[in-house]
């Protein structure tokens, strides 16, 4: 991949508990492993104030995070963390993270005030990520954004920065409803002139034995078309166990499991686009 053609993907859904952070972490790690031999690099941006990305990977915190970058309190170099933990047996030399924290809520308020007041430091909210992170395409082959359920004022900013969205869907009734709302948001952004596409709908927590899970999958395929639906991620306890066991990803903790294989298929799909 050309160093001037990096892709930015947002993992987003307005409903919580659908596996967004697990998907963002696993996809970023899988892509990093895929392109490591070619010298490629992957950036994982935690846009959720819960800050679960760094915690899940057991990365040491730094003084600055995403909120500081958005508020001009630090440089990009100051807030980026290497996810490489070769000393613990988890080498990830080309995977990097911009962590988040609950200070992101403060950043939202401050940016709204600056935008409303105007002046030299003012930045339109929908432009703030493009201004602060738009250059990542020249540094990373892939940038994955882990989005919270509620993007509110940052929705257009995320959609403007990202090229595509991956929408995880928990295969229950409420998950299906949340997805319809979120894809509606993306269509509205497109109508507003923001060039973001849906890379795929990703069914998660899928249990073939459950009628509701099969029904939701069938409904998603009928509504969005089979080509838009990625292979389902099966329900499994490894999603809770992997980060708890020394901050591993699923690809490290259970590389031969059905869950890991399903995410490898997602990596294949994104890599082939």
pLDDT tier at 122, thresholds 50, 70, 90: very low
Structure confidence at residue 197 (pLDDT): 87
pLDDT tier at 74, thresholds 50, 70, 90: very high
Interatomic CA distance for residues 133 and 33, integer angstroms: 23
pLDDT reading at 206 higher than 50: yes
State phi, psi for 248 to the nearest 5 degrees: -90, 155
- Of residues 12 and 38, the one with the higher pLDDT is 38
- 107-121, 154-168, 231-245: range with lowest mean pLDDT: 107-121
Element (H, E) at 96: strand 95-98
For the chain, percent of residues with pLDDT exceeding 70: 88
Write out the two tokens for 208.
């073939």
pLDDT tier at 172, thresholds 50, 70, 90: confident
Domains present along the chain, CATH in parentheses? 7-272 (3.40.50.300)
- Of residues 108 and 195, the one with the higher pLDDT is 108
Model-level pTM? Answer: 0.90
- 3-7, 9-13, 69-73: range with lowest mean pLDDT: 3-7
Structural contact between residues 12 and 149, judged by C-beta atoms closer than 8 angstroms: no
Structure confidence at residue 191 (pLDDT): 55
pLDDT reading at 3 higher than 50: no
Q: Which residues contact 79 (CB under 8 A, 6 or more apart)?
A: 62, 64, 65, 66, 68, 69, 98, 99
Structural contact between residues 1 and 35, judged by C-beta atoms closer than 8 angstroms: yes
pLDDT reading at 129 higher than 80: yes
- State the SS3 of 142-160: EEEEECCCCCHHHHHHHHH
């Amino acid at each position: 991949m050309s160093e001037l053609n990096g892709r930015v993907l947002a993992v987003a859904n307005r409903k919580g508990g659908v596996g967004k952070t697990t998907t963002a972490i696993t996809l970023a790690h899988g892509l990093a492993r895929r392109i490591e031999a070619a010298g490629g690099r992957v950036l994982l941006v935690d846009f959720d104030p819960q800050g679960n990305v760094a915690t899940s990977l057991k990365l040491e915190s730094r003084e600055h995070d995403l909120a500081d970058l958005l508020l001009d309190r630090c440089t990009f170099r100051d807030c980026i963390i290497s996810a490489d933990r070769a000393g613990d047996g988890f080498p990830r030399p080309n995977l990097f993270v911009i962590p988040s924290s609950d200070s992101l809520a403060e950043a939202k308020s401050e940016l709204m005030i600056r935008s409303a007041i105007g002046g030299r430091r003012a930045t339109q909210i929908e432009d703030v990520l493009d201004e602060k992170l738009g250059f990542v395409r020249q540094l990373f082959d892939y940038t994955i954004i882990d989005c919270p359920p509620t993007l509110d004022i940052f929705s257009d900013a995320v959609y403007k920065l990202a090229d595509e969205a991956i929408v995880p869907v928990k295969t229950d009734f409420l998950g299906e409803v949340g997805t319809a709302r979120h894809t509606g948001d993306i269509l509205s952004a497109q109508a507003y002139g923001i060039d973001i596409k849906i890379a795929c709908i990703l069914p998660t927590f899928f249990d073939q034995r459950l009628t509701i899970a099969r029904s939701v999958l069938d409904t998603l395929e009928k509504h969005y078309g089979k080509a838009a639906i990625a292979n389902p991620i099966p329900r499994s306890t490894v999603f809770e166990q992997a980060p708890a066991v020394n901050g591993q990803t699923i690809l490290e903790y259970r590389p031969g499991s059905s869950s890991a294989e399903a995410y490898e298929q997602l990596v294949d799909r994104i890599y082939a686009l």
